Structure 1
């Protein structure tokens, strides 16, 4: 996997795509350190439950088996910004459950997260099982199908492939060009972006700074996005 500065982890190619089995024994799964009050509340509430499996410390079974054997995978905000759990869930075909009051999801300007995930407020942690059981089989199957469709957007390839994580990041930057302004100082500053032949080229006019993102697409064409 490759960790991007966007605040999430993307999948890398090379290991194929995980396949889910028919025997999903757990309703939901979470494993991680207790480094926030929200995670502490989750573990305290569901640590002895037979359907919702929450762990801290070392797992006794492979992490991948837990993801493959669960209908829902819990993403619980800790102290850090970065997490691999959303990408892990998507890779293993597990529907992500985002437990947070405010969280800037990756590609939120592009993807309809409601179509393949569920957001649960932290105050509703005690109601988590009721909420998940309230999702009908038809609704769950639709979420799961959409998870499978979304995986390609979180895939990071050695050479960019249409609609993969590289293109998603570039498109998200382009969409936010009129919203996010990066203060640039100096003239002709160039930054390398993720070793993909993409550069950020900043230059200054009399009244404003200009940010340009350049990269080579899958057809070998130079693409330039300016704001």
Structure 2
């Protein structure tokens, strides 16, 4: 392995990732193989009524902490375990929450990365990365701070204040960059 270049989806700075040698790649889940681009995109910045959103399995040590601090605690920060399958009017599903949120929380699970990061970008939602040792995909060429927010794991209790401290014009600029990155990264399938 000493002479190999590794391409990793779970690029862990403390887990052997070698800066300048290894490559950090995005992790994603193919939801609808028949139509890969179905339901992508999101609402304009002015129509996103939810400050922050997360839903997912409670694996790893960090997600239960996130749920403990934010689950059903604040109407602006929507944090759930797994979302149930919803049917009927007025019920929101996972993509609808992402499309309606300014910030999408990408909290580590068992690994430092999550497919949620790519999903946030697909739904034009500014990613909030909560994973202290995560090396973002293509970090050598992308300025992640221009379109994502990094929150230290220990700062989960201050999450809402951190996000509210970002001026509206800075948020809109970040969301515009997410949209640009999304448009540039989707292949014609």
Q: Is 1:35 paired with 2:59?
A: yes
Contact 1:10–1:154 (CA under 8 A) maintained in structure 2: no
- Which is bigger in relative contact order (C-alpha 8 A, separation at least 6)? 2
Residue matched to 1:222? none
Task: Mark the runs of 5 or more structure 1 residues left unpaired by the alignment.
Answer: 159-227
Match of 1:55 in 2: 80
Shift of residue 155 of structure 1? 2.4
Q: CA deviation at 1:68?
A: 0.9
The 1:81/1:38 distance shift into structure 2, 3 A limit, reads: closer
What are the ranges of 5 or more consecutive residues in structure 2 without an aligned counterpart? Answer: 1-7, 10-24, 87-91
Asked if structure 2 preserves the Cα contact closer than 8 Å seen for 1:72 and 1:95, the reply is yes
Task: Report whether the alignment pairs 1:114 with 2:139.
Answer: no
For these two proteins, the number of residue pairs brought into alignment is: 155
Q: How far apart are residue 100 of structure 1 and its match?
A: 1.3
Structure of larger gyration radius: 1
Q: CA RMSD in A?
A: 2.2
Distance of aligned partners of 1:10 and 1:51 in 2 relative to their CA distance in 1, 3 Å threshold: same
After the TM superposition, which parts of structure 1 deviate over 2 Å for at least 4 consecutive aligned residues?
Answer: 4-7, 10-17, 57-61, 80-83, 152-158
Q: What is the match of residue 99 of structure 2? A: 68
Match of 1:123 in 2: 154
TM-score by length of 2: 0.74
Structure 1 pair 99/128, CA: closer, same or farther in 2 (3 Å)?
same
Change (3 A) 1:153 1:126: same
1:142 alignment partner, one of 173, 176, 179? 173
